[in-house]
Amino acid sequence: MTGKIVILTGAGLSAESGLGTFRDKDGIWTQHSLEDVATPEGFARDPALVHGFYNARRVQAAKASPNAAHHALARLQQEWKAPVVIVTQNVDGLHEAAGAEVVHMHGRLAGALCHRCAHRWDAPPEMSPDDPCPACRQPATRPDVVWFGEVPYHMEAIVAHLSDSDLFVAIGTSGQVYPAAGFVAEAAQAGAETLEINLERTDISGAFEAHRLGPASEVVPAWVESLLPRDG
């Protein structure tokens, strides 16, 4: 395989950096109600609660460091002779901290968005419902993350990448949230090989041709090593 690689990453990639996943035992959705903190309706009901949830995650993400899996993917992107497109559902900045360029389909904790005028700016560590938008001055600021019921970002570009990929790899994602969970089928339809890297099998494992099971910090560097020529 020497062609274009599209990689989808999820919370399992950052688990060994100390950031919680969503659906594992003790995952974020076992401690918080998804409807309250990750929907536009929840934000309309109680913006302070939602800001508090993302403020805590922003502080935690800012303290975290990329692990060996993030570094290996950045190296693959730099050294592979064909394009390596990394699409992440993660809102942390750990891919960038490792030196990779990524498409943030679920937005970023580091971003703020005005829901009145759509202006975007860098989020301060703590956001609150009273913060005015720097452009329109309305107290209408929200984290620049995609909530349930909203359309993920960059979908047109992602679909185009899937349609001419030669290999599609999903890493550390449970395959329970669409449209990301449908990417493997789109890539396979376009003729790509498919590989799932995860701690355990997922509900959509059957859609992949190949699997590598284990912790991302071990399995991802080993997979990248198997693709890249040895140094020297």
User: Is the C-alpha dihedral spanning 167, 173, 179, 182 positive or negative?
Assistant: positive
Q: Do 15 and 64 meet the contact criterion of CB atoms below 8 Å apart?
A: no
Q: Which helix (H) or strand (E) holds 57?
A: helix 47-63
Binding-site ranges for ligand OAD (CB under 6 A): 10-12, 15-16, 21-24, 27, 38, 89, 106, 146-148, 172-174, 176-177, 198-200, 202, 215-216
Q: Which is nearer to ligand OAD, 60 or 138 (CB)?
A: 60
Shortest CB 175 distance to ligand OAD, Å: 7
Q: Which is nearer to ligand OAD, 83 or 111 (CB)?
A: 111
Q: Which is nearer to ligand OAD, 146 or 227 (CB)?
A: 146
In the set 70, 95, 106, 161, the catalytic residue is: 106
Q: Which is nearer to ligand OAD, 24 or 36 (CB)?
A: 24
Q: Where are the beta strands (DSSP E) in 66-173?
A: 84-88, 102-104, 107-114, 120-122, 141-145, 167-171
CA distance 40 to 42: 5
Give the Cβ contact number of residue 133 at 10 Å: 21
Neighbouring residues of 86: CB distance < 8 A, sequence distance ≥ 6? 7, 9, 73, 77, 95, 100, 101, 102, 103
Q: Which is nearer to ligand OAD, 83 or 215 (CB)?
A: 215
Shortest CB 27 distance to ligand OAD, Å: 5
Q: Lay out the sheet containing 210-213: strands in order across.
A: 102-104, 84-88, 5-9, 167-171, 193-198, 210-213
Shortest CB 174 distance to ligand OAD, Å: 3
106 is catalytic: yes
Query: Which residues are catalytic, by number?
Result: 106
